[in-house]
Homo-oligomer: A and B are copies of this chain.
Amino acid sequence: MRIECIAIGTELLTTRRLDTNSVWLGERLAGLGLAFHRKTAVGDSREDLGEAFREALKRSDLILTTGGLGPTFDDFTKELFAEILHADLVEDAASRADMLAFYAARNRVPPQVNFKQALIPVGAEPLRNPVGTAPGVWWQDPPGHPGVRIVMMPGVPREMKTMWEGQVEPRLRSLAGRPVHTLRMVVCGVPESNLDERTREVRERHGHLDWTILANLTQVELLARGPEPRALESARLDFEPVLGEDLASVGDGNLEDAILGRLKARGETLAVAESMSGGLLASRLTAIPGASAAFLGGATAYTMAAKAALLGLDPAWLAQVGTVSEPCAVAMAEAARQRLGATWALAIAGNAGPGAEGGAPVGAVFIALAGPAGTQVRAPKMAGDRAEIQLRSAAQALDLLRRSLGNG
């Protein structure tokens, strides 16, 4: 089955808006043993969308679109596709009722312009939208194209995902091939080229699997895909000794999931004290459901006054040692651990730019981990812009804790 995706929206061509929908859809397709052979993004232009749609009709069996179902002037996916396929649009009574109910629940009345969202091409089925007002469309065997399936979904990620899970995936399941399973191993603290070399021999031994190495700023993912769960499990067992403690997690999770899981298993707790990372450590941890079982909280002690007020550090002493210094990071971690009564506390002090700060150059970072057996410090020098330095500092701090927790 040839499958393609058309993401619709000028913002995908001209702004910083990333097309995350099609990435999510690609993963869901893999779970069904299916894959895109192409993804296209076009603007809110009848000419460009019409051309992309006509081409897709010629070569693909399943066409997934996202976007252009809203109420505004630049939303015309359904209208244009119906016109190209010479189909009329009719109002779907259930979709109109859904829309009225959606607004009524919010004590509002839909603007007149919204009612165009309830129009559906004749011969197609509406896909209800339980979390928004734009219904989607499932159009099987459209006029002149037997065997083709067109699925139009909203561009709002939550609406698209809910519609896919509840209504599109169940319809596709009968068409699907053998599901493809994925083994995902997250490695921290190792450059991609090193990992490539170190794992080549084991990857070749498991050469019947599809291998991908994906590096980003803070971690490297090793992905293997194949139809046989047992083959993936055997690959995992061969990789574990090769990766050793550089293997941060296996499966869907990341560093923070691994840490919270290990803390919970050990009945231990964590606090943080953040200066330069400004809340990033805390927000990565609290993004995980159930984080409060092990993460207690912490101080975003961004200024000297905050380091004094929240952590009890002495401003005169801080002025002497400097707020971007190893003693400061150590004192922050130890104060957070003691004040919150945590087993472990992580602290980050550093300068992410834009300018030098109290004598510390941009990229100077001090990471401290206070724990039952004392306090460890790392002092990496980091390149990159402000966001990169903040992200990489938070990741290195979490990785320091992960290595200290071991696999126990």
A230 within 8 A of B: no
**Interface locus among A12-20, A90-98, A169-177, A242-250:** A12-20
The answer to whether B26 and A13 touch across the interface, beta carbons within 8 angstroms, is yes
- Report the bound CA distance from A285 to B279 in whole Å: 9
The answer to whether A302 and B295 touch across the interface, beta carbons within 8 angstroms, is yes
Contacts of A131 in B (CB 8 A): 383-384
| CB nearest to A288 among chain B residues | B386
Contacts of A20 in B (CB 8 A): 18
The answer to whether A289 and B212 touch across the interface, beta carbons within 8 angstroms, is no
Partner of A14, one of B14, B35, B194, B278: B35
The answer to whether B196 and A113 touch across the interface, beta carbons within 8 angstroms, is yes
- Report the bound CA distance from A385 to B289 in whole Å: 10
Query: What are the 10 tightest A-B residue pairs by CB atom distance, in nearest-first order?
Result: A278-B286, A279-B282, A297-B306, A279-B279, A279-B283, A297-B302, A282-B300, A39-B41, A13-B36, A297-B300
The answer to whether A158 and B30 touch across the interface, beta carbons within 8 angstroms, is no
Interface string of A239-270 (1 = CB under 8 A from B): 00000000000000000000000000000000
The answer to whether A16 and B27 touch across the interface, beta carbons within 8 angstroms, is yes
Copies of this protein in the assembly total 2
Partner of A196, one of B11, B52, B71, B301: B71
A309 within 8 A of B: yes
The answer to whether B39 and A289 touch across the interface, beta carbons within 8 angstroms, is no
**Interface locus among A42-50, A119-127, A366-374, A397-405:** A42-50
21 contacts between A and B (CB under 8 A): A14-B26, A15-B221, A37-B42, A38-B48, A44-B212, A51-B59, A72-B193, A113-B197, A156-B215, A158-B388, A274-B279, A279-B286, A280-B283, A286-B300, A287-B386, A289-B353, A297-B300, A297-B301, A297-B307, A298-B299, A309-B341
A223 within 8 A of B: yes
A390 within 8 A of B: yes
Known: A385-B158, A390-B287. A306 touches B271 (CB 8 A): yes
